Structure 1
């Protein structure tokens, strides 16, 4: 956040979210795959700026970003995605979906809550609390909106390395239906392995 102190953390965070929302990373549109890779690269740069290491894993069509930080204590694994659904004015948007717009205290833009905004929020939280003795691994993907192609195979291949010894998992792909954030604390069909 060193570059943010002069303008304020909130303004810096909003500026960064505006930049991310502007990327039309619609993973369902093959002509926009360059935009998906662009947002994954922006995510990687942000993680590297925080002092983290990044690995891109080839899952056949797109890449997935990994981040490993602070190798002590419990292991927290965090999952999110930076691809988005299609968005056009004809779909009912009242503002440009790829221009973060504030109306009456609310922010509107494709990906602001699903899931670019939450990815940035987690990165900001990780950066703010880097002194806490927790090993954090993130997997940020660019194919969630089209079924996470290749992710299951990747997790199976890396089960004894990247995904080994996980103590806690946070999946922050959720919605805010009101002004109150949603918190999912269990998933039907999940099981311990």
Structure 2
């Protein structure tokens, strides 16, 4: 009796497991740390290595794309059917800094498998999750007897994600014709846990700013002048104190305009997750929860916008007293945004709010960083159902639950530029330690990622062909 498609995928994956892990280890040895200029050549080496490996995998097009910063990699494998839908996979090949003295128990750039876990910088974030697509597409072909994927398959693997993606949107805009797609699949996220497979349905956006406040032209005597001239440190404190009301809602007028509310169904699905708040607090190194009234902890970090004070300073901070009115003070703020919010509108609202609260006699400078838009895939989106079905097949029929991501990333730039919905396919788990010492990926879960990708392309080909006018959000 011949293999079923599911068993054929698993058999192929297991047969090629050793070679796949050996290739991944070779890539992980390249210290592609985009944040450190001394590793610029390594980041380029990483891009060139991946482009060559994708050619070897079977992609007829595999190119290194230059940016003003680190290079990206683009690959394309057309389907045999010209009318087949197109899927673009996003990930990144740069990694966070890492050194043995940071607390690693192994060399971060000498991969080791210990008790079924592959330890190395980038194992989970994000080289491992990019690389499972190479074996996944080959398993897809082997199981289906195809000579090309069921979809027009494209990959865009960025080289600056760990440095804030400063050139990514411009790259997407400049190459929009080559990147044109029906859906985007982001493999730079994770699951709830090893035993609770989940699909992420959205990421928050981000806006941030720094406020520099200037009062007197120099530090001055608080006895001679205090109470008679404005104090920039006091103004900074008042701005921070006025950012939230007693219900922990952001007080900036217009801040909540357009926010997509949680549905009852979404709140029920979040509540189904095996969330242990005490354990979560231990992970957060914190001693109590606090947030917007009326929402659970998961709802606050996944589906509600926030304003946080990232830094505040000014005046004398050395030992003993120094009775002055300081010449200057500063505040750093960041705003996590959810679906329906526009970062440009938030910047306008924040600017107006600050202008109304800075008194005469205080000069200030307000600077915003590069913003990131939020993205959200509705639970009933047909393409999302394809991801759920593919993952369930890989996890032997397990029920797939839903999460969101409280952080931010460049996925929404692809959504905006390409007008395509964003899906998330990740198999990393919280214990993988992204950005931390001893980063690892569970090898068995990595292979589940291979199987999910192998099942996904056939499912998406059918689903997208039936749904010619899919919504982008």
TM-score, length basis structure 1: 0.87
| Structure 2 match to 1:86 | 97
Give, in whole Å, the separation in 1 of the partners of 2:73 and 2:190. Answer: 22
TM-score, length basis structure 2: 0.37
Which residue, out of 187, 200, 215, partners 1:172?
A: 187
Give, in whole Å, the separation in 1 of the partners of 2:69 and 2:37. Answer: 10
| Structure 2 match to 1:142 | 159
Residues 25, 33 of structure 1: 8 Å contact kept: yes
Residues 113, 176 of structure 1: 8 Å contact kept: no
Give, in whole Å, the separation in 2 of the partners of 1:58 and 1:113. Answer: 25
2:74 partner SS: strand
2:33 partner SS: coil
Deviation per CA, 1:128-172: give whole Å up to 9, x if none.
Answer: 32434200111012111001121101111222x1132x2111111
| Structure 1 match to 2:201 | 185
My pick for the range that moved more, 178-187 or 85-94, is 178-187
Give, in whole Å, the separation in 2 of the partners of 1:107 and 1:176. Answer: 17
For residues 1-193 of structure 1, the aligned pairs below 5 Å read 8-52=15-59, 53-71=61-79, 72=82, 73-130=84-141, 131=146, 132-159=149-176, 161-164=177-180, 166-175=181-190, 178-179=193-194, 183-188=199-204, 189-190=374-375, 193=419
Unpaired runs of at least 5, structure 2: 1-11, 205-373, 376-414, 420-473
Query: Which has more radius of gyration?
Result: 2
Give, in whole Å, the separation in 1 of the partners of 2:78 and 2:69. Answer: 30
Deviation per CA, 1:104-144: give whole Å up to 9, x if none.
Answer: 22111111101111111012112332434200111012111
Unpaired runs of at least 5, structure 1: none
Give, in whole Å, the separation in 1 of the partners of 2:78 and 2:116. Answer: 36
TM-aligned CA deviation for residue 177 of structure 1: 6.6
The root-mean-square deviation of aligned C-alpha atoms, in Å, is: 2.1
1:162 partner SS: helix
Residues 143, 149 of structure 1: 8 Å contact kept: yes
